[in-house]
């Protein structure tokens, strides 16, 4: 009996084709990530298109005044804009030596042709109401922040309606405003 130690057997190498397939068993991130991004973008665009085509007609059934309040700015078929001629108003000031002026042009939104004719008939009263509101204002009141012109428009509308004793002006639009 030989007591020879047997040499350890060398591990048999696997063929190269088998090694390559074992390396590629993990997820294919190079394909998977762009696919997820494309599907997300397509889903977002598709959802937006569906929402605007199927949900938008339901919201368009709102009244014209609700549309105007939402900021669409569209007029209904009956509503009319009445232009008030441009005029200059002295503004209130703490220093009489430093007189300030505002040049103003407005348009008034009314319900229909009858109200437009009434506004044109009462143009002197409308101009008086605007002057009474403006002469109480300082330049800093008008130009102080982004909401100050909106507040001025509301005050003009309320002043016109109060002076006329009825709700004639639905909205007042300032089409020209210069403060000096």
How do the domains of the chain map onto residue ranges?
A: 80-179
Question: For position 20, what pLDDT does the model report?
Answer: 52
C-alpha closest to that of 78 among 65, 61, 69, 66: 65
Burial bucket for residue 158 (CB in 10 Å: 0-12, 13-18, 19+): middle
| Phi/psi of residue 67, nearest 5 degrees | -60, -45
Question: For position 150, what pLDDT does the model report?
Answer: 86
Question: For position 158, what pLDDT does the model report?
Answer: 92
Q: What is the pTM of this model?
A: 0.57
Mean pLDDT of each 10-residue bin along the chain, 180 residues long = 55 54 63 87 84 61 43 72 88 81 90 90 91 87 82 90 89 87
Q: Which fold has domain 80-179?
A: Tetrahydropterin Synthase; Chain A (3.30.479)
């Amino acid at each position: 009996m030989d007591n020879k130690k047997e040499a350890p057997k060398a591990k048999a190498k696997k063929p190269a084709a088998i090694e390559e397939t074992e390396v590629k068993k993990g997820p294919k991130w190079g394909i998977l990530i762009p696919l997820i991004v494309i599907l997300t973008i397509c889903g977002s665009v598709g959802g937006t298109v569906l929402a605007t085509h199927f949900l938008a007609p339901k919201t368009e059934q709102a009244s014209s005044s609700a549309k105007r309040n939402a900021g669409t700015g569209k007029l209904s078929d009956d509503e009319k804009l009445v232009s008030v001629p441009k005029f200059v108003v002295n503004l209130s000031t703490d220093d009489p030596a430093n007189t300030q002026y505002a040049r103003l042009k407005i348009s008034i939104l009314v319900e229909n042709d009858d109200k437009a004719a009434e506004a044109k008939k009462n143009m002197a009263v409308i101009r008086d109401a605007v002057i009474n509101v403006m002469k109480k204002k300082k330049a800093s009141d008008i130009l102080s922040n982004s909401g100050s012109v909106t507040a001025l428009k509301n005050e003009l509308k309320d002043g016109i309606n109060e002076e006329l004793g009825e709700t004639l002006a639905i909205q007042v639009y300032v089409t020209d405003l210069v403060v000096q």
